Amino acid sequence: MTARTLFDKIWDRHLLCNGPEGSSLLYIDLHLVHEVTSPQAFEGLRIAKRKVRRPELTFATLDHNIPTTGNRMVLEDALARTQVEALRKNCREFDVPLFDLDAPEQGIVHVIGPELGLTQPGMTIVCGDSHTSTHGAFGALAFGIGTSEVEHVLATQCLVQKKPKSMLVRFTGATGAGVTAKDLILALIAQIGIDGATGHVIEYAGEAIRALSMEARMTVCNMSIEGGARAGMIAPDQTTFDYLKGRRFAPQGEAWEKAEKQWATLQSDPGAKFDSTVDINAAQIAPFVTWGTNPGMAAPVTGEVPGPDRGVNDSERNSIARALEYMGLSAHTRIEDISVDRVFIGSCTNARLEDIRSAARVVKGYRISKSVQGMIVPGSQQVKRAAEKEGLHRIFTEAGFEWRESGCSMCLGMNADRLKPGERCASTSNRNFEGRQGAGGRTHLVSPAMAAAAAVAGRFVDVRNWHYKD
């Protein structure tokens, strides 16, 4: 039998049959739904008089356009309220379970799936959200889809797909102290470019990946889409099983034993062929900071902002010049000389308990700079409660941070959490596109520890030299 990749194995297992003219019909095990990309899909079902085929494999939550302060059951924004109410109505009408704003499980869709044990190895998982790649950290095939495809999955529990290519990314060597999963993925995207993995499913491997916790693996897989990849995945191992065991929707008892045995086979066979391979030495990666207007425009904190002359053709030179103008930066500015006005610690990339702990450890015993407004937005209510149990919220509030309710918040600024024009933000989110966090806002992507250090120092500093007061 030919050697197969992890991706091949999951694909083959979910392939119903090869459809007409080379198309593939893929069965979907788990469909996650949120308020922004689903209303038109449910409306489509209604118009065509169709039902949700497997409501028990479908889970909905509210995360994108909801407030992170105040009484969240009363939404002042009329448009947001309409969208939230549409999801409630759709879930009632189509029998889809919903984690509403007052539910103890509410949170960012890609944070709650794993923490509830819904996300499991070997599954196919989709959601109308590009960061669905997060769930690949468990050895699942997970990818973002548009609203038309959301409707297709709701109606059929299947999706018509063309099989993507495969890419192996090996992080060799051990990651240095103070260097995180966020730095690994930013370094990769800086190397391959934001379309470097277009049309591919990435499998991350190597010593540095094996050493990562589940939460850190999720950060890596989360940003696969920022390198253009359809999905990112990591073969499950003991770290995966330890994380999942005992979670609410994970198999229990005998079913667990059986599942664990089967999950252990979910690895690429020796000699399995990938369409392309990228090697990166993790030991040489420093904390990364983006300086431009896409996630590939990034530099080590010890480096500087490049000039347009770094571009290899006119198009790249124009892009860099445009980015510098938008970001209000001049070429050759040292990264450590860039000061910030805002710090956002949150998002499906970096708002899990470990992220919050890592930021709290930096902040402990310090006050944030007078010129900085800092905001911590836990990824879920469960993360928020766990952090509060450890007293982390007090470390933040005593330092001058705001401690908020869970949601997507200023990652995309659909709610009131936004940058003002010209404001510069150190953000643990995933996109630094123009206007992403608010029209005219300037985003620098960093790890939670780097964001916390920037809040205290008022500028970017190398967190590897941080004086911890713990």
Partner 1 sequence: MQSFTVHTGIVAALQRDNVDTDQIIPKQFLKRIERTGYGDVLFFDWRYDRDSCPDPSFPLNAPQYRGATILLAGKNFGCGSSREHAVWALRDYGFRAIIAPSFADIFANNCLKNGVLTVVLPPAEIAQLNARDAAGLYRLKVDLEQCQVSGDGGFQAKFQIDAFTRTCLLEGLDEIGMTLKREAEIARYERTRQVGL
Residue ranges in contact with partner 1 by CB under 8 A: 16-17, 19-23, 25, 27, 36-37, 39-40, 43, 48, 50, 53, 64-65, 77, 79-80, 82-83, 86, 128-130, 144-149, 151-152, 155-158, 160, 162, 164, 194-195, 198-199, 225, 228, 230, 258-259, 262, 294, 315-316, 318-319, 322, 412-414, 431, 433-436, 439
Write down the least CB distance from residue 80 to partner 1, Å.
6
> What's the length of the chain?
470
Least spacing, CB of residue 466 vs partner 1, in Å: 32
Nearer to partner 1, 10 or 209 (CB): 10
Q: Which is nearer to partner 1, 83 or 175 (CB)?
A: 83
Residue 53 or 273: the one with the smaller Cβ distance to partner 1 is 53
Shortest gap between Cβ of 86 and partner 1 (angstroms)?
5
Please state the closest distance from residue 65 (CB atom) to partner 1, in A: 6
Nearer to partner 1, 41 or 208 (CB): 41
Q: How far apart are CA 76 and CA 61, in angstroms?
A: 19
In the complex, least distance from residue 195 CB atom to partner 1, rounded to whole angstroms? 4
CB of 20 to partner 1, least distance (A): 6
CB closer to partner 1, 26 vs 285: 26
DSSP-assigned beta bridge partners for residue 30:
125
Residue (194 or 264) nearer to partner 1, CB: 194
Nearer to partner 1, 316 or 398 (CB): 316
Smallest gap, in angstroms, from Cβ of residue 204 to partner 1? 18
